[in-house]
């Protein structure tokens, strides 16, 4: 039995191309989702360690994949409520 490489097998059996494509896409999406969950501040993993994680989100940094015409300004009513709660 000959030891054939991955690309030689795919070249010979072309019906495997969609399967390999879907599995590759799923693996890349899983890696991206894991990276996003670890590095972004809008994803909460540890609820007990930080009960109010929304207080630490930087308003100048967009958290969405695509942000159009985002303009951030303070809302006076919310600032008053925040001062009263402390």
pLDDT (tens digit, 9 = 90+) per residue, 10-41? 888 889 899 999 999 999 999 998 887 777 76
48 domain-assigned: yes
CA dihedral 39, 44, 48, 50 (to 10 degrees): 70
- CA diameter of the chain: 77
Structural domain including 33 reads: 6-85
DSSP label of 35: H
More confident residue, 77 or 23: 23
Return the minimum-mean-pLDDT range out of 33-37, 56-60, 82-86: 56-60
More confident residue, 34 or 43: 34
The H or E element that residue 58 is part of is none
CA distance 84 to 51: 18
65 domain-assigned: yes
1 domain-assigned: no
Q: Are 37 and 43 in contact (CB under 8 A)?
A: yes
35 domain-assigned: yes
26 domain-assigned: yes
CA distance 62 to 70: 8
Number of domains within the chain: 1
11 domain-assigned: yes
């Amino acid at each position: 039995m000959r030891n054939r490489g991955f690309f030689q097998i795919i070249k010979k059996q072309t019906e495997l191309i969609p399967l390999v494509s879907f599995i590759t896409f799923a693996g890349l999406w899983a890696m991206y989702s894991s990276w996003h969950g670890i590095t972004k501040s809008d994803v909460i993993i540890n609820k007990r360690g930080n009960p109010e994680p929304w207080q630490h989100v930087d308003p100048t940094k967009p958290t969405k994949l695509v942000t159009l015409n985002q303009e951030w300004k303070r809302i006076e009513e919310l600032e008053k409520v925040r001062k009263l709660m402390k």
